[in-house]
Amino acid sequence: MKKVKELFNGKAKTVYSTEDKDKLILLFRNDTSAFDGEKIEQLDRKGMVNNRFNAFIMEKLSEAGVPTHHERILSDQESLVKCLEMLPIECVVRNIASGSLVRRLGIEDGLELNPPTFEFFLKNDELHDPMINDYHIISFNWASQDEIDKMKSLTFKVNKVLQKLFLDAGMLLVDYKLEFGRFNGQLYLGDEFTPDGCRLWDVETRKKLDKDRFRQGLGGVVEAYEEVAHRLGVELS
C-alpha cells in the first residue's frame, strides 16, 4: 500500500491517504512534543520504537476483543490503519494519581486510585485540551450517549488487559489517554498507544519510563521506551 496524499501533520505522526478510501497510513516521526507543542525535539529511533510498540499493543487489545483501527506494520515508521471519523475527545483512565490530576485537585503524586478514575478532555490545543463531562459531549453533539458508554467500557477494558501486561513485565500503568473514532457505524480505538500517551513506572523503583522523562528533562527518553519494549518482548529494528 502506497501513500497518496498528506492529509494531516500532527505533533508526532503524519497521516496519509492511500488508494483505498477506507485505509490510511500513519507515519510515526521522531518529533517529540510537550506542553501543547511548546517544547519540540527530534529523538533518534523514537518513530520506529513507537510504531513497533503501538502495533504490539494494538494487536494485544484486538486479541482481547477491543476493536482497533490497526491493520498492519508497513515499514519501520509506518502502519496501515482503518480510516476512522475521529471523535474530538480524549479518554483518560488513571490508576495512580499524577500529572494534571495532581495539579488540578492537589492530590499527592503516586496515590493509588481504587477504583481507577476516568476523565474526558476536549481535543483542542488552542484551549489546552479542557476537561469536559458527558453532558458537554451530548449538548455539543460530539458523540452520542451510546458512544459515551462504549468509550468508557472500552477504555476500562483496555485497562484490564494492559495493567496485567505491564505488571507482568515489572511496570505500573499509571494512566493513559485513548482516542476513538467511527467506522461503518461502529466505534474503534484509533490514534496510538505508546509511552508518549501513557505513564509507566518501574514497579520496584518507580523510575519513570514514559514521556514524563521528556516533559521533565530527565534524559534517556528513547532508552526508556526501548526498555519498556524490551521488557514486553516487542521486536525492534
Q: Which residue has the cell 529494528?
A: 237
Q: 47 or 197, CB closer to ligand CDP?
A: 197
Beta-carbon contacts of residue 100 (< 8 Å; ≥ 6 apart): none
* Residue number, 18 or 176, with CB nearest to ligand CDP: 176
Q: How many of the chain's residues bind ligand CDP (CB under 6 A)?
A: 13
Single residue of 176, 180, 193, 214 touching ligand CDP by CB under 6 A: 176
197 binds ligand CDP (CB under 6 A): yes
CB of 34 to ligand CDP, least distance (A): 8
Question: Nearer to ligand CDP by C-beta: 101 or 187?
Answer: 101
The answer to whether residue 190 forms part of the interface with ligand CDP (CB under 6 A) is no
Binder to ligand CDP among 92, 97, 162, 224 (CB under 6 A)?
A: 92
Residue 173 lies near ligand CDP (rule: CB under 6 A): no
When asked if residue 175 is in the footprint of ligand CDP (CB under 6 A), the reply is: yes
Which of 70, 208, 211, 213 binds ligand CDP (CB under 6 A)? It is: 211
Which residues lie closer than 8 Å to 201 by C-beta, 6 or more apart?
Answer: 96, 171, 172, 174, 207, 208, 209
The minimum distance between CB 109 and ligand CDP, in angstroms, equals 10
d(CA 188, CA 85) in angstroms, rounded, equals: 10
Site for ligand CDP in 95-124 (CB under 6 A): 99-101
Site membership for ligand CDP, residue 28 (CB under 6 A)? no
In a 3-state reduction of DSSP, which class is residue 222?
A: helix
Phi then psi for residue 132, to 5 deg, are: -130, 170
CA–CA gap between residue 190 and residue 56 (Å, rounded): 14
Helix axes 46-63, 221-232, angle to 10 degrees: 30
Report in angstroms how near the CB of residue 1 gets to ligand CDP at its nearest: 27
Q: Please, are residues 154 and 189 in contact by the beta-carbon 8 Å criterion?
A: yes
